[in-house]
Amino acid sequence: MIIGHLPSGYILARHLPPLPLVMGAAILGGVFPDFDMIWFYLVDDRAVHHHRYWVHIPAFWSTVCAVTMPLIYTFARQLFLPAVTFFVAVMMHCVLDTVAGGILWHWPFSNEFTHFMTIPSRYDNWIWNFVLHPVFGLELLIWGWALWLWKNR
């Protein structure tokens, strides 16, 4: 998924109570795993697929969630719903990346990516392979849904 993560966070937040921080947590969680692109391009020189970094691995987030949520619930209960929203949005990011990009859903038991479909490599620049594939319509649908929600808020 290339452009659908940000509006997916917005859609998530629009289906939750309009409490402080929920919208921001949903949008941040929706895009947060892709902040690894900074490391991918500027430090790692694209040596490892960025979906192998910890921010794209569901087992990592499940562990972080299992450790932090009881603490947040106990010591900062006002942040509980935003924190849950953040983790749900991160998992939505992983699900959306599973459509065509591949996610390590079975890590640490397997290092194989799980993906719903493989995008054929037809163009030199990888982004055209995604943008000109019918699956990009899903991203446009997500944007359309988010814009419809925004217009009817």
Q: Which residues bind Zn ion (CB under 5 A)?
A: 33-34, 97
Query: From the CB of 144, what's the least distance to Zn ion, in Å?
Result: 21
Query: From the CB of 77, what's the least distance to Zn ion, in Å?
Result: 30
Task: For residue 95, give both structure tokens.
Answer: 């699900």
| Residue closer to Zn ion (CB basis): 13 or 56 | 56
Task: For residue 59, give both structure tokens.
Answer: 């087992």
Query: From the CB of 68, what's the least distance to Zn ion, in Å?
Result: 21
| Residue closer to Zn ion (CB basis): 37 or 76 | 37
Distance, in Å, from the CA atom of 131 to the CA atom of 64, rounded to the nearest integer, reads: 33
- Closest by CA position to 6, among listed 91, 65, 93, 88: 93
- Closest by CA position to 94, among listed 145, 119, 59: 59
**How many C-alpha atoms does 113 have within 13 Å on its Cβ side?**
19
Residue type at 69?
M
| Residue closer to Zn ion (CB basis): 97 or 139 | 97
| Residue closer to Zn ion (CB basis): 22 or 51 | 51
Query: From the CB of 14, what's the least distance to Zn ion, in Å?
Result: 21
